[in-house]
Amino acid sequence: MGRLFGTDGIRGIANQDLTCELATQLGRAAACVLTNKSNRHPKVLIGKDTRLSSDMLETAMAAGLCSIGASVVTLGVVPTPAVAYLVEKYKADAGVMISASHNSYEYNGIKIFSGDGFKLPDDLEERIEDIILGKSDISGEFPLEDGIGTVTHAENAVRDYIDHVKSSVHFSLDGLHIAIDTANGSASATAETLFTELGAKVEMLHDKPDGINVNRDCGSTHMESLIEYVKTHEVDAGVAFDGDADRCLMVDEQGNFIDGDFIMAICAMDMKSRGKLAKNTVVGTIMTNMGFQRFCEEHGMHFEATKVGDRYVLEEMRLSGYNFGGEQSGHVIFRDFATTGDGQLTACQLLSLLRRREGNLSSLATLMQRFPQTIVNLQVSPEGKLAFYTDHKVRSAIDKAAETLGKDGRIIVRPSGTEPLLRIMVEGKEEDLIEKIANDVAEVIKAELC
């Protein structure tokens, strides 16, 4: 067994890669690493999304935690950022979210938050892995009798999270008419109540989860149906979340797609104009569009790039005292209100801004000029992922592509942290050229690694 944790927790096909046995082991190991040893019954929260296997993994994870003496509190179906918020509000020692985010229903995942609501740093993940993989032992004996842990349910988890997000909004959404695509995921438990209570008129799409339809032709990874709805109905905006609602993408009133870079550009300018953007800096990743970087330069803002993954964006924000950042995929972090990306909070902030300015989303989205960008995903084996770093022909093809693009473009090829894929991203001024370069490099990779 190789490394368990990727860029966003442990993820795999449920009951094949991510088994009940592994979830139970993870519960035991996490309890040992994360909780206060002086606390006989440390408290651990567990939230989940709507996919079929979430109940199974929740039960297995709870069993592992109880076997170490933890007091488990289940939250039910909630967004990932709800776990991050509630772990601190409920004074828990740790929080767990069972979700595979944007993946289809056969996948599931386990994300762990420490008691301060932040995702685990690499060193703690490695300590948990060492226990599971047998490189270190769980010290002491398992508790007996009244030392065994218990499971209770938090009845007010959804309400407490909704109230938290509402408290971040200081200008109501009265008068706005919006379409919301919940991806048949976690936001189906919260979004209609949240946005309605803030004053918006809402049209709900894909909000009837059945265990297997999460992210299926809907949500932030499949924007087509939301775009079509906005084009054929008179609404002010469309909002799409992924399966666990930690990311948000949007559609303007004309049916144009608004990705995370555009959302960040609009919000960053507004925060800067109000003196709310810490150190006049926005944190993104190496995948952030070059147009956004130039936008920051033109408007007196500094841009910091990190590795791909909202955890790395947040680490840089915490390290350097920044309060705003995110990813093109829609993970946007408002550090003044949250310890992780929060799709619904992001939508609330942007829609409140829209209402306050009495404008429309299409006009605000023109602030930034996006460079054409194409992404090719190639399925590879774990061995292929490793060989990518050393294969001479692949490296040579990438170097040649970079030389062709010059200073007005770039190529980034990287292994996915959550799926068995290599991602080829090419960006530049000429759309035909970047597509040709991306396909040429993809052919070399296919011949060498696939």
Q: What is the pLDDT of residues 221-252, one digit of tens each?
A: 999 999 999 999 999 999 999 999 999 999 99
**At residue 350, does pLDDT exceed 90?**
yes
pLDDT band at residue 3 under the 50/70/90 scheme? low
**At residue 95, does pLDDT exceed 80?**
yes
Residue 136's pLDDT is what? 61
Residue 12's pLDDT is what? 92
Angle, alpha carbons 372-375-376 (nearest 5°): 145
- Residue of 386 and 128 predicted with greater confidence: 128
Residue 142's pLDDT is what? 80
Q: Which tokens is 366 given?
A: 């023109």
Highest averaged pLDDT of the listed ranges 76-85, 309-318, 380-389:
76-85
CA distances from 104 to 11, 13, 242 (A): 12, 10, 10
- Residue of 40 and 33 predicted with greater confidence: 33
**At residue 5, does pLDDT exceed 80?**
no
Question: Using CA atoms, how far apart are residues 192 and 198, in angstroms rounded to an integer?
Answer: 10
**Active site residue ranges:** 101
Where b means 16+ CB within 10 Å and e means fewer, 11-25 reads bbebeeebbbebbbb
pLDDT band at residue 137 under the 50/70/90 scheme? low
* 3-state secondary structure string across the chain: CCCCEEECEEEEEECCCECHHHHHHHHHHHHHHHCCCCCCCCEEEEEECCCCCHHHHHHHHHHHHHHCCCEEEEEEECCHHHHHHHHHHCCCCEEEEECCCCCCCCEEEEEEEECCCCECCHHHHHHHHHHHCCCCCCCCCCCCHHHCCCEEECCCHHHHHHHHHHHCCCCCCCCCEEEEECCCCHHHHCHHHHHHHCCCEEEEECCCCCCCCCCCCCHHHCCHHHHHHHHHCCCCEEEEECCCCCCEEEECCCCCEECHHHHHHHHHHHHHHCCCCHHHEEEEECCCCHHHHHHHHHCCCEEEEECCCHHHHHHHHHHHCCCEEECCCCCEEECCCCCCCCHHHHHHHHHHHHHHHCCCHHHHHHHCCCCCEEEEEEECCHHHHHHCCCCHHHHHHHHHHHHHHHHHCEEEEEECCCCCEEEEEEECCCHHHHHHHHHHHHHHHHHHHC
Q: How many CA atoms lie within 13 A of 122 on its CB side?
A: 6
- Residue of 148 and 381 predicted with greater confidence: 148
pLDDT band at residue 1 under the 50/70/90 scheme? very low
CA distances from 2 to 78, 110, 182, 196, 359 (A): 30, 16, 34, 46, 51
- Residue of 33 and 3 predicted with greater confidence: 33
pLDDT band at residue 438 under the 50/70/90 scheme? very high
Average pLDDT, the chain: 92
**At residue 18, does pLDDT exceed 90?**
yes
Cβ neighbours of 200 (radius 10 Å): 25
**At residue 41, does pLDDT exceed 90?**
no
The residues, any chain, with a CB within 8 Å of residue 231's CB and separated by 6 or more, are 254, 255
Q: What is the pLDDT of residues 296-307, one digit of tens each?
A: 999 999 999 999
Residue 340's pLDDT is what? 95
| Strands 410-415 and 332-334, bridge-based pairing | unpaired
Q: What is the pLDDT of residues 154-191, one digit of tens each?
A: 999 999 999 999 999 989 999 999 999 999 999 999 99
pLDDT band at residue 22 under the 50/70/90 scheme? very high
Percentage of the chain surpassing pLDDT 70? 96
Question: Using CA atoms, how far apart are residues 103 and 317, in angstroms rounded to an integer?
Answer: 27
Residue 39's pLDDT is what? 62
pLDDT band at residue 139 under the 50/70/90 scheme? low
Percentage of the chain surpassing pLDDT 90? 73
Question: Using CA atoms, how far apart are residues 78 and 418, in angstroms rounded to an integer?
Answer: 21
Question: Using CA atoms, how far apart are residues 144 and 202, in angstroms rounded to an integer?
Answer: 52
Residue 36's pLDDT is what? 57
